[in-house]
Amino acid sequence: MKKNIAVIRGDGIGPEIVNQALLVLDKIADKFGHEFTYTDVDMGGCAIDKFGDPLPQSELDKCTASDSVLLGAVGGPKWNDVPGPMRPEKGLLRLRAGMGVYSNNRPAKIWPQLADASPLKPEIVEKGIDFIIVRELIGGIYFGKHETIEKDGQKVAIDELTYSEEEIRRIGRIGFETAQKRGKRLCSVEKSNVLDSSRLWKKVMHELAAEYPDVQLSDMLVDNCAMQIVKDPSQFDVVVTENMFGDILSDEASMITGSIGMIPSSSLGATSCGLYEPIHGSAPDIAGRDIANPIGTILSAAMMLRFSFNMAAEADCIENAVSRVLDAGYRTGDIFSPGCKKVGCTEMGKLILEQL
Ligand code: NAD
């Protein structure tokens, strides 16, 4: 298969970690007979330096013309004083909006080799943590009308929460399709005991369920879900939820797995062209020292293969290689524990390549 990937290295550790992910993709292409070509895109601080704009239209166009986008991270102290609309992070928001990616998918997976890093009790971690939160990204209360008015002599703040059936249906489909590619269990999370938007959410999810008979759908109230994630996360396969609930639950879910450097993410819209990036930032404190953990980015590349290119065997191959390197005791500084062998970014990439 031929695929063109837009590559945004970005700032800070971005170039170091993305370079390792590209070496992994090249090896996968060789092994499985694919052809991956790369289009370099400047976004963030480096684009401000080059163009005076964190994401010029020409760079965004390269992304929307690609089969998918791989991103390192953007931002850093050098651009802290840049005015609001020209900040590096604005490039990221413009990219998400320009690509129309309405679904953010973040896996919460504990690597057994790193179980000690989880703040949960060992007996909970031992049952396994391996689920994905599918979060609606461009609707709901964050995108409603926000206003503060004067009423009866005091200020009253109003944030509007709306969801249309179509907005729910399109994120619901991503939830069901993600579940189809995993353990075929989907948990729809809402607050239907209080909110109209949640009652509509639940109704639409159940209508959709008829189209996906191979997926087992369950419902859970968001407050219960927040408790279940720390009480027994092994019960979840795929969670689908609205924007604000997903924002909070996905941060909770990534915390229980231990290390920020290990976690990938994907954002998808109506087409298979997705945005894939680690959840961490540009880590300016360790940039340029070849000590960053490239695994979150390498696993983001694996997600791209699985969810945008339908290359499940190739994605498995990468994930298994990462697991074997961890089994052998190699760790970057962020996941290091006594008795392990400390390696840098390039060395970690090389070890994963050897296992592919
Ligand atoms: P950060 O995620 O960059 O770093 C937080 C801590 O985690 C730091 O100590 C860092 O060294 C460590 N860390 C992060 N990734 C690591 C990795 N792969 N390997 C080893 N250690 C790692 O968050 P921050 O310091 O709050 O933000 C730094 C910059 O990144 C800011 O400019 C921020 O706006 C930006 N940022 C960008 C994105 C993005 O591009 N998607 C996301 C978050 C923050």
- Say if ligand 1 is within 6 A of residue 285 CB: yes
- DSSP for 145-211 reads -EEEEEETTEEEEEE-----HHHHHHHHHHHHHHHHTTTSEEEEEE-TTT-HHHHHHHHHHHHHHTT
Q: What is the pLDDT of residue 219?
A: 98
Q: Start-end ranges of CATH 3.40.718.10 in the chain?
A: 1-106+260-356, 119-256
Question: Residue holding tokens 């609001």?
Answer: 84
**CATH number corresponding to 1-106+260-356:** 3.40.718.10
Contact predicate 178/103, CB 8 Å: no
CA of 261 to the centre of ligand 1 (A): 9
Q: Per residue of the chain (356 residues), what is the pLDDT tens digit?
A: 999 999 999 999 999 999 999 999 999 999 999 999 999 999 999 999 999 999 999 999 999 999 999 999 999 999 998 887 788 988 988 898 899 999 999 999 888 898 888 899 999 999 999 999 999 988 899 888 889 999 999 999 999 999 999 999 999 999 999 999 899 999 999 999 999 999 999 999 999 999 999 999 999 999 999 999 999 999 999 999 999 999 899 889 988 987 789 989 999 998 999 999 998 999 999 999 999 999 999 999 999 999 899 999 999 999 999 999 999 999 999 889 889 999 999 999 999 999 99
- Residue 36 carries which side chain, given as an amino acid letter? F
Residue whose CA lies nearest to ligand 1 atom number 23 = 281
Q: Is 196 a catalytic residue?
A: no
Q: What is the pLDDT of residue 270?
A: 86
Contact predicate 205/187, CB 8 Å: no
- Say if ligand 1 is within 6 A of residue 91 CB: no
Of 3, 27, 62, 191, which residue is the catalytic one?
191
Cα(264)–Cα(109) distance, integer angstroms: 10
- Say if ligand 1 is within 6 A of residue 222 CB: no
Q: Is 26 a catalytic residue?
A: no
The burial of 82, by beta-carbon neighbours within 10 Å (0-12 exposed, 13-18 middle, 19 or more buried), is given as middle
Residue whose CA lies nearest to ligand 1 atom number 6 = 283
CA of 338 to the centre of ligand 1 (A): 24
Tokens of 109: 């997976």
The residues with which 8 forms a beta bridge, in sequence order, are 41, 71
- Secondary structure of residue 137 in the 3-state scheme: coil
- Residue 276 carries which side chain, given as an amino acid letter? Y
- DSSP for 267-316 reads EE-SSS--EEEESS---GGGTTTT-S--HHHHHHHHHIIIIIS--HHHHH
CA of 212 to the centre of ligand 1 (A): 38
Of 78, 130, 142, 350, which residue is the catalytic one?
142
Tokens of 118: 């989880």
- DSSP for 87-119 reads SHHHHHHHHHHHHT--EEEEEEE--GGGGGG-S
Q: Is 142 a catalytic residue?
A: yes
The closest of 103, 276, 69, 277 to 173, measured between CA atoms, is 103
Check whether domain 119-256 has CATH 3.40.718.10, yes or no: yes
Of 232, 251, 316, 327, which residue is the catalytic one?
251
